[in-house]
Structure 1
Amino acid sequence: MKTASSSSSSSHGFPATASLCTPYLLLVPLGLLAVVLVVPSLGSSHVRSDGLGVLCRAGPSAADGYLVTPGGDAASAAAETKAVVRPELRLLVGVLTTPKRYERRNIVRLAYALQPAVPPGVAQVDVRFVFCCVADPVDAQLVALEAARHGDILVLNCTENMNDGKTHEYLSSVPRMFASSPYDYVMKTDDDTYLRVAALVDELRHKPRDDVYLGYGFAVGDDPMQFMHGMGYVVSWDVATWVSTNEDILRYNDTHGPEDLLVGKWLNIGRRGKNRYSLRPRMYDLNWDMDNFRPDTVLVHMLKDNRRWAAAFRYFNVTAGLQPSNLYHFP
């Protein structure tokens, strides 16, 4: 290795004299600061700020999102395997939530992350938290942090609501957002629902890939599945695409009202979702006494507070793999 005394320049052609090295050394801290500030922003192309405090969707990469895999090296191995193995099915799970429910989203993230992984060759399951535009400046910054850290945020071009068109905006936006890498199925669910991913995948593996409408069937009159309960339902990609292109839904202002009933109405009028499957009683509401859990559960709804989430985690042995440590003790 050459020194300043033996040569007037380095192998890269930069002057090696002490008088010229000093300015370059002074630039090093500035360069590191630029890396810290600029690089994260380059990696967060899945969101944008449309003015102060407004967070809206900006054309996502299909590779973004929260993949349901275990943590650590196993997650890296699963991601590498996913790149070379085409899964039997791809499922997008949209968890409809609101900006201020940070604690609930953290619980739901853990609920998915600590489940047994679905083998990469069987299914790719991406979970995203779905908002309308985030207008509050504080929420916009905090949700942007979630997007940067987790990559599981999907922001729609609408005003936040529950029964005034948010579900329609979700179902109609997804086919355009992921047109370059379509899923086989699209699911809508809520942040008070615990979905057991492997159980749902087992159900979907043997179902058709088109004209599917699956969930907790709600009977109306003589029809045992007039619509699927809003706790969580799945439509095939072609059904979501049909919703996105059906102008009559908007023309007749048919997006305002109980969202689950309206989805069933659209499909009934349009004669879509003919392959209908009700997963009752494996999809259900948790009762007041919290004593109706089932070992074959696909989905349990009405987890409205931390006490109910804790009961679900306890029943399904979510923390069974916790390693002993002198850093903590749980009764």
Structure 2
Amino acid sequence: MKTSSSSSHAFQATASLCTPYLLLVPLGLLAVVVVIPSLGSSYVRSDGLGVLCRGGPAADGGLHLVAPGGDAGGAREKEVVAAAEAVARPEFRLLVGVLTTPKRYERRNIVRLAYALQPPPVPAGVAEVDVRFVFCAVSDPVDAQLVALEAMRHGDIVVLNCTENMNDGKTHEYLSAVPRLFASTPYDYVMKTDDDTYLRVAAMVDELRSKPREDVYLGHGFAVGDDPMQFMHGMGYVVSWDVASWVSTNEEILRHNDTHGPEDLLVGKWLNIGRRGKNRYNLKPRMYDLNWDMDNFQPDTVAVHLLKDNRRWAAAFRYFNVTAGLKPSKLHLQHQQP
């Protein structure tokens, strides 16, 4: 999901990216499903999330940049196309991978809405952010059918070649797969987050704008000994593309079977041993866990974690005024308490 309002030309120049590339492999052999980069040029995007892209390559309302035909004015046509592409090119691209499990359909729908209804970053066109839901191979035949429908409709599913787990190599598989899956259209940053984290995209974009594009490791720093950022909390962390590529090609991690254990701690361990992610940024306290009483929300939040049930998600939406823009209608109960 992504919002773009830099200009109609900028949107047309990038709307062709909405075409889905989807590979669904049968049941337990469902290896890697890669879907489209969707949405225009400046905000979060994920096909079917109610922002810019809809439905698929033949969907009504799809916008595509079409250069005029014929031989005359060919040079001028190329200049126009190049200018449109230059306008549409964002400062950076961020991939947000939301690690989840196949059966959490309701949670994914809530998270999709949470991203789709966020206001765009300022200025418009600053970033392209793609949101993908990530899980391992789907072995249950019912889930396989329902996930296939979900992937066809939303185009935001990535299925990894692993057995579903939390601390048994899934994050390593994700960080390793991304550089291969998106080799032709690399991102500047790759984020891992969870389906109980509410990420405020504009705030994250604002944080990343001034950061280097290489050797970056950013999140809620977890102190070990005298090091305030030995590793980043698993609620959500960002690495630059070169760091993800290094993880993808580092055979030492697998040779030493170093993917089994608390995933966030292990990522920090890999980077510390490999002397990677030297540009470290601690976003604590703007990234934090929601407490039991749900009374520690902060207005400058980048990400809030532990939204384990609908009640806690509703509290987050209420605090951040997500539904404040609901227009009066006879179809809604106007006097119902928010």
Q: What is the CA deviation profile of residues 21-70 of structure 1, one whole-angstrom value per residue up to 9, with x for unaligned ones?
A: xxxxxxxxxxxxxxxxxxxxxx86412223x5653325555559970698
* 5+ long unaligned stretches in structure 1: 1-42
Distance in 2 (alpha carbons) for counterparts of 1:83 and 1:137: 45
Q: Secondary structure at the match of 2:234?
A: coil
Partner Cα distance (2:149, 2:328) in 1? 32
Between the aligned partners of 1:64 and 1:54, the Cα distance in structure 2 is 30
Separation in 2, partners of 1:125, 1:241? 19
- 8 Å CA contact 2:186–2:241 kept in 1: the answer is yes
Alignment of 1:87-236 (within 5 A): 87-118=90-121, 121-236=125-240
Aligned to 1:67: 45
* Contact residue 62 and residue 178 of structure 1 kept, 8 A: no
Aligned partners of 2:34 and 2:20: how far apart in 1? 12
Choose the corresponding residue for 1:55, options 19, 25, 30. Answer: 30
Distance in structure 2 (CA, Å) of the matches to 1:100 and 1:238: 33
**Aligned-partner residue type, residue 189 of structure 1:** T
CA distance in structure 2 between the partners assigned to 1:234 and 1:79 by the alignment: 31
- Distance in 2 (alpha carbons) for counterparts of 1:288 and 1:190: 19
Provide the rounded CA distance (Å) in 1 between the counterparts of 2:308 and 2:191. Answer: 20
* 8 A contact 1:68–1:112 mirrored in 2: no
Tell which structure's C-alpha radius of gyration is larger: 1
**2: distance between equivalents of 1:64 and 1:250?**
35
SS at match of 1:214: strand
2: CA distance between counterparts of 1:93 and 1:121? 17
Are 1:257 and 2:283 matched, yes or no?
Answer: no
Instruction: Give distance in 2, aligned partners of 1:234 and 1:73.
Output: 25
Q: Does 1:309 align with 2:313?
A: yes
1:5 is aligned to: none
Contact 1:62/1:180 (CA < 8 Å) preserved in 2?
A: no
Letter aligned with residue 57 of structure 1? V
Cα distance change of structure 1 residues 58 and 199 upon mapping to structure 2, 3 Å threshold: closer
Residues 5-25 of structure 1, C-alpha deviations (whole Å, 9 max, x = no match):
xxxxxxxxxxxxxxxxxxxxx
| SS of residue matched to 1:229 | strand
1:40 paired residue number: none
Output the CA distance in 1 between the equivalents of 2:325 and 2:214: 38
Deviations 1:170-226 (A, max 9, x none): 001000000000000000000000000000000000000000000000000010100
The answer as to whether partners of 1:229 and 1:260 remain within 8 angstroms in 2 is yes
| Equivalent residue, structure 2, for 1:326 | 330
**For residue 275 of structure 2, what is the aligned residue in structure 1?**
271
SS in 2 for 1:57: coil
Q: Aligned residues: percent identity? A: 77
- What is the rounded CA distance, in whole Å, between the counterparts of 2:247 and 2:168 in structure 1? 16
Q: 81-90 vs 209-218, which deviates more?
A: 81-90
Cα distance, 1:117 vs structure 2 = 2.1
Please, which runs of 5 or more residues in structure 2 have no aligned partner?
1-18, 55-60, 66-83
Alignment-derived partner of residue 33 in structure 1: none
Distance in 1, Cα, partners of 2:141 & 2:181: 25
Aligned CA distance change for structure 1 residues 251 and 289 (closer, same or farther; 3 Å): same
Q: Any conservation in 2 of the 1:184–1:209 contact (CA below 8 Å)? A: yes
Asked if structure 2 preserves the Cα contact closer than 8 Å seen for 1:54 and 1:137, the reply is no
Alignment partner of 1:284 is 2:288: yes
Task: Pick closer, same or farther for the CA change 1:201–1:227 going to 2, 3 Å.
Answer: same
Q: Distance in 1 between matches of 2:133 and 2:144?
A: 14
Letter in 2 for 1:252: H
Alpha carbons of structure 1 residues 268 and 74: separation in structure 2 relative to 1, 3 Å: closer
Q: How big is the alpha-carbon RMSD for the aligned residues of Structure 1 and Structure 2?
A: 2.5
* Cα distance change on mapping 1:292 and 1:77 into 2, 3 Å: farther
The aligned residue for residue 10 of structure 2 is none
Measured in 2, the distance between the counterparts of 1:135 and 1:83 equals: 44
Instruction: Tell me the TM-score normalized by structure 1.
Output: 0.81
Distance 1:140 1:239 in 2: 32
1:166 shift after superposition: 0.1
Report deviation, 1:121: 2.0
2:221–2:284 CA contact under 8 A, matched in 1 = yes
> What is the TM-score of this pair, normalised by structure 2?
0.80
